A and B are shown apart, each in its own frame.
Chain A
Amino acid sequence: MLKRKRWLFAIFAILPTLAIYLWVRIIPIEEVLRLSLHKWDLLSKNKPFIGFANFEELFHDQLFITSLINTTIIAFGVLVITIPLALFLAALIHHRTRSRFAGFYETSIFIPHVVSLVPAAMAWKWIFDARLGPLNAFLGIFGVHPQSWLFDPVLSIICVIVLCSWQALGYAVLIYLVGFKNLPVSLFEAAKLDGASGPQSFWFLSIPLLKPITLYVSVVTLVSGFNVYAQAFVLASDAQGAPGRQVRVLVLDMLENSFRNYRIGYASSEAVVLLVIVLVLTLIQFTLLRERGRA
């Protein structure tokens, strides 16, 4: 009797949250999957089922392919810059935990991760600006000709990567710091007694021991890299101010297809492609972690 009462409480207490989940998460996810198989141009009343036709069209759509390639380059570019740098910085910060400036190190590296994205992007827009930007002026000292960073298709992708890495770095450093703090101290003392130098124990002990953390941070960085949008929106506007023209990314292409071209079904199939990418990355993470656990 008492037990049943307790159960009733549990069910009633969790029900509102579950209802919200159903409403704002489960149903939209199900809808996106369903719409991706339908042709729905918003203006037309009926939404015929067309199977995988949307996906077939996607992979012949030059704009989509460009966005997919750009997004992939950005995601992996950010990964390649962020992870080694974060590991290195976290090792140094951990080594200097007792330093007077330890708080400053953590805060200064972490601030870019929390500040509002658009104002931060604005700062970089100024830095990269072809006429006024300090980057060109700085490079001018070394005799490099001024570049129009934000208007060149290749350079503007680099700019987006730099901005995203600047933001992602703080998070990665923080997670690595937690990892460093959880490493077994005794192992490092033993290594020291055996004559291992600092860099040696970093290379042969810390890096292998931190592998699960590296895996986790890499997947998080890649997933957020594939969802890049605001950075490209702000940095890569064209001369007329149309956002994101120089660097087309997946989310931008998706939103443009649904709100400018009114092709909801088509845009949904793009969302599904994004979902598949994220799921594959997550799956890779889980499999690698499990393999480690078995070994």
Chain B
Amino acid sequence: MSELVLTDTQELRASARRVANKRILNLGIDAFLVLFGLLMILPLVFLVANAFKTPQELLRWPPTVIPTNPTLSNVQAVLADTPLLRWVFNSFLFAILSTITILTTSSIAGYILGKFPSRTMSVLFAIILATAIVPFEVYMIPLYFQIKGLGLLNSVWGMLIGYLVMSFGIFLIRQNVIHSIPDELIEAARIDGAGEFWIFFIIVLPLLRGAMGALAVLAFFQAWTAFAWPLIVGTTRDAYTIEVGLALFQTGFTVDLGRLSAASAVVLVPSVTLFVLLRRNFVQGVASTGLKE
């Protein structure tokens, strides 16, 4: 009898130890992941910190995360030296216009390709997917000459032409149309005498809100971070996007770290804020890129 009690308590102790071990292990994993996450964002934290440091403090070791005598002189100098705000505006306009056109083309094409099944549509969809395999860098040069022929070099419009459509967007919307919009719904609307346009705008579009949100964030960041294309289309100082402007600014002869960091921070802070706000949309959108066969 007493023996039995003994094994019971032993087992209890053993399982308590197991639970404790597990908790320690989980704590260790948490600590590791927190540390790793901090290391990942550390370069960006330092960049923002450096933007507000005096030249003396920039040289200090170990580098400070919070500047001891924060100064705005770097930011002021950059704003005086470069049309930084103009570049930000160009990037913003480019990204917004590209997002709007990608949303428009993707929603219409995705809906048609998803809900009007036929051999023609399958072939068209296959062609659209096939062009997605070809990286933009491959056909950038002929596209550049088309823009040049239209006289659209050095303008946001010229840049926009490269980013009017997004194959993945069409794929994403088509996928959503097929899975989340029942044929019966559309048929019922048709029987009630609804026109095709009405069906698309009043029934289909509201149901695609989630997917469109994810796509909008993807499209915006894609244009916002574009580099090679804006670099070749925009060749005058006023036509640069912020990415191009910064990249060319930093190749100058006198590279002042404080100013570079200030310019970078001006760009970084809003885009990181935007990302953290839209994180869910973004993660959903990117995660669905992995669902491609």
Task: Give per-residue flags for B255-272: 1 if the beta carbon is below 8 A from chain A beta carbons, else 0.
Answer: 101001101110110011
A241 touching B43 in the complex, CB below 8 Å, given contacts A29-B138, A178-B287: no
A-chain residues with CB within 8 Å of residue B63 when the two chains form the complex: 134
Please measure, in the bound complex, the distance between the C-alpha atom of A217 and the C-alpha atom of B291, giving whole angstroms: 11
Whether, in the assembled complex, A92 has its beta carbon less than 8 Å from a beta carbon of chain B, the answer is yes
Within A178-232, the residues touching B (CB, 8 Å) are 178-179, 213, 216-217, 223, 226-227, 229-230
Interface membership of B16, Cβ < 8 A: no
A87 CB within 8 Å of chain B = no
Interface pair A115/B228, CB less than 8 Å apart: no
Q: Give Cα A20 to B198, complex, Å.
A: 24
**Are B268 and A109 in contact (CB-based, < 8 A)?**
no
Give the residue of B26, B260, B293 whose beta carbon is less than 8 angstroms from that of A96: B26
Any A CB within 8 A of the CB of B77: no
A32 contact from B46, B139, B287, Cβ within 8 A: B139
A271 near B139: Cβ-Cβ < 8 Å: yes
B52 at the interface (CB under 8 A from A): no
Q: How far is the CA of A185 from the CA of B30 in the complex (A)?
A: 22
When C-beta atoms are compared, the residue in chain B nearest to A224 turns out to be: B135
Residue in A127, A177, A229 whose beta carbon sits within 8 Å of that of B43 in the complex: A127
Contacts known (A28-B143, A132-B59, A241-B252); A92 close to B32, Cβ less than 8 A:
yes
Are B225 and A109 within 8 A (Cβ)? Answer: no
B208 at interface, CB cutoff 8 A: no
A171 touches B286 (CB 8 A): yes
> B247: CB under 8 A from chain A?
yes
B162 CB contact (under 8 Å) in A24, A104, A137, A267: A24
Which B residue sits closest to A237, measured CB to CB? B251
B interface footprint on A251-279 (CB within 8 Å = 1, 0 otherwise) = 10011001100001001100110110011
Contact B246 A122 (CB under 8 A): yes
Residues of A within 8 Å of B30, CB to CB, are: 96, 99, 101
Kindly list chain A residues whose C-beta atoms are within 8 Å of the C-beta of B134: 25, 29, 275, 278
Given known pairs A107-B279, A119-B47, the reply for A17 and B165 (CB within 8 Å) is: yes
Q: Are B283 and A106 in contact (CB under 8 A)?
A: yes
Q: How many residues of A contact B (CB 8 A)?
A: 95
Are A241 and B253 closer than 8 Å at their CB atoms? yes
B43 touches A116 (CB 8 A): no
Give Cα distance in the complex from A58 to B182, angstroms.
54
Interface size on B, residues (CB 8 A): 91
Q: Within the complex, which residue of A32, A93, A118, A272 is in contact with B246, where a contact is CB–CB below 8 Å? A: A118
Interface centre among A119, A122, A169 (most CB of B within 10 A): A119
For B33, give its contact among A6, A93, A240, A243 (CB under 8 Å).
A93
Mask of A11-35 contacts with B, CB within 8 angstroms, 1/0: 0011011101101111111011001
Q: How far is the CB of B79 from chain A (nearest CB, A)?
A: 16
**Closest CB of chain B to A135's CB: distance in Å?**
11
A20 touches B133 (CB 8 A): no
B141: contacting residue among A5, A10, A95, A271, CB under 8 A: A271
| Chain B residues close to A by CB (< 8 Å) | 26, 29-30, 32-34, 36-38, 40-41, 43-44, 46-47, 50, 58-59, 61-63, 105, 108-109, 111-113, 116, 121, 124, 127-128, 131, 133-135, 137-143, 145-146, 161-162, 164-165, 170, 196-197, 200, 221, 224-225, 227-228, 232, 242-244, 246-247, 250-253, 255, 257, 260-261, 263-265, 267-268, 271-272, 275-276, 279, 282-283, 286-287, 289-293
25 A-B residue pairs with Cβ-Cβ distance under 8 Å, sorted by A, are A5-B196, A7-B116, A10-B112, A25-B165, A32-B139, A99-B30, A101-B30, A111-B275, A112-B44, A115-B272, A116-B243, A116-B267, A117-B243, A118-B242, A122-B250, A123-B43, A126-B46, A134-B46, A171-B286, A179-B290, A243-B247, A264-B145, A274-B137, A275-B138, A278-B134
Closest 6 CB pairs between A and B?
A: A108-B37, A119-B264, A31-B142, A28-B139, A123-B47, A123-B43
